[in-house]
């Protein structure tokens, strides 16, 4: 090897070392030092001390989740939160680990969705997890794929690619405990319906083993669509969930009201009233025990639903307040008789 070639290789080596030193100075510790480190250190050991979680998005959309002695409450509604959903969020945040460093240049934040949520056009969400001793604040940006998300610890310039994927929404109604009632069809013995429009009627069965509900109140000149016409009514309260909730509010004067009473074989009666307002459907619920065995369940239901109007999807509203016409065969269409053509008589 010539001296000239040795000199060239030596110079290249020095350049490589210099480049490595420069990169190291720009990225202290190297990428390996950040990969696998917790984004919110200390949170995992403090989960049981968390008293509040705030979620904020652009436009001042906000959800405040407050811990009470017995459960979590959605502050904007004063109603119980979906504790399972909240617990998953907290566990995911506690286990959130950095995968890779990303930009610390503020003008590049919008690409990742990690700019401050009060910035124009912000798309991310800010999470503030509050405990008596510390508050952890994180801005969650765009998802990178099905496993990773871009994040930035608030008040820190450095953004990160992190895992697991965190998806958050600041709409309060999406954090409500969704369950209103879950009365399965096999329990239902009788339903009395008083729709806002159309005649009142009832359906019943004498025992659980009776396959189909008998319908009372069918006009003499009408027929059911089949023996099982009313069977689906028995599942109207099965997994009945809300879309939103508000304090009990008297409907506007002149509002058409619907009413239904669902009775079970074991002595539980569920009384439901409902109305439509601005293309939304609301119900209020109460429970009565006609047997001692149903007393605890009735009390538990009333303690949860008393004082609330529940907004439910339109299709579920129609299931709860089924009109009699939905169970009947359509009326036969009457054929129009065309008048006989005028005949002219030849003279």
pLDDT digit string, tens, across residues 242-298: 999 999 999 999 999 999 999 999 999 999 999 999 999 999 999 999 999 999 999
Average pLDDT over the chain reads: 90
**Residue 232 and residue 302 in one domain:** yes
**Residue 130 and residue 55 in one domain:** yes
- Residue 15 falls inside a structural domain: no
Place of tokens 């239904």: 260
Give φ, ψ of 232 to 5 degrees: -65, -20
- Residue 5 falls inside a structural domain: no
Q: Work out the pLDDT band at 17, boundaries 50, 70, 90.
A: very low
**Residue 90 and residue 65 in one domain:** yes
**Residue 206 and residue 290 in one domain:** yes
**Residue 38 and residue 131 in one domain:** yes
- Residue 255 falls inside a structural domain: yes
- Residue 104 falls inside a structural domain: yes
pLDDT digit string, tens, across residues 34-68: 899 999 999 999 999 999 999 999 888 999 999 99
Q: What count of residues does the chain have?
A: 347
pLDDT digit string, tens, across residues 69-112: 999 999 999 999 999 999 999 999 999 999 999 999 999 999 99
- Residue 217 falls inside a structural domain: yes
**Residue 144 and residue 49 in one domain:** yes
Q: Work out the pLDDT band at 343, boundaries 50, 70, 90.
A: low
Range of the domain at 39: 30-170
DSSP string, 97-125: EEEEE----GGGHHHHT-S-TTSTT---E
**Residue 137 and residue 186 in one domain:** no
**Residue 235 and residue 127 in one domain:** no
Q: Work out the pLDDT band at 331, boundaries 50, 70, 90.
A: confident
Residue 31: the pLDDT is 47
Residue 4: the pLDDT is 57
Number of domains forming the structure of the chain? 2
**Residue 158 and residue 281 in one domain:** no
Q: Work out the pLDDT band at 24, boundaries 50, 70, 90.
A: very low
Can you give the CATH number for the domain in which 86 is found? Answer: 2.60.40
- Residue 343 falls inside a structural domain: no
Q: Which residues contact 284 (CB under 8 A, 6 or more apart)?
A: 248, 272, 273, 274, 305, 308, 309, 310
């Amino acid at each position: 090897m010539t001296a000239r070639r040795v000199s060239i290789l030596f110079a290249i080596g020095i350049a490589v070392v210099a480049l490595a030193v420069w990169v190291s100075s720009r990225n202290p510790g190297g990428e390996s030092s950040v990969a696998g480190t917790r984004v919110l250190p200390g949170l995992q050991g403090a989960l049981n001390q968390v008293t509040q979680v705030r979620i904020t998005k652009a436009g001042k959309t906000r959800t405040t989740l407050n811990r009470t002695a017995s459960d979590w409450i959605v502050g904007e509604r004063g109603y119980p939160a979906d504790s399972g959903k909240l617990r998953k969020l907290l566990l995911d945040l506690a286990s959130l680990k950095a995968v890779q460093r990303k930009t610390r240049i503020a003008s590049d934040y919008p690409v990742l969705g990690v700019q401050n949520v009060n910035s124009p056009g912000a798309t991310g969400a800010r999470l503030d997890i509050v405990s008596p001793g510390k508050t952890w604040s994180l801005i969650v940006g765009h998802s990178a794929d099905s496993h990773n998300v871009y994040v930035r610890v608030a008040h820190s310039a450095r953004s990160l690619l992190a895992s697991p994927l965190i998806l958050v929404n600041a709409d309060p109604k999406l954090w409500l405990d969704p369950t209103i009632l879950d009365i399965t069809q096999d329990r239902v013995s009788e339903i009395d319906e008083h729709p806002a429009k159309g005649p009142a009627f009832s359906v019943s069965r004498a025992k659980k083993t009776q396959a189909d509900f008998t319908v009372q109140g069918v006009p003499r000149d009408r027929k059911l669509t089949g023996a099982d016409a009313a069977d689906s009514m028995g599942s109207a309260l099965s997994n009945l969930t809300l879309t939103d909730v508000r304090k009990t509010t008297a409907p506007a004067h002149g509002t058409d009201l619907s009413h239904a009473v669902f009775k079970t074989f074991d002595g539980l009666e569920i009384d439901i009233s409902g109305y439509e307002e601005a293309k939304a459907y609301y119900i209020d619920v109460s429970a009565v025990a006609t047997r001692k065995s149903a007393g605890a369940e009735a009390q538990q239901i009333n303690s949860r639903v008393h004082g609330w109007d529940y907004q439910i999807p339109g299709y579920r509203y129609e299931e709860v307040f089924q009109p009699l016409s939905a169970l009947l065969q359509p009326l036969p269409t009457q054929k129009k008789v065309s008048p006989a053509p005028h005949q002219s008589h030849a003279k």
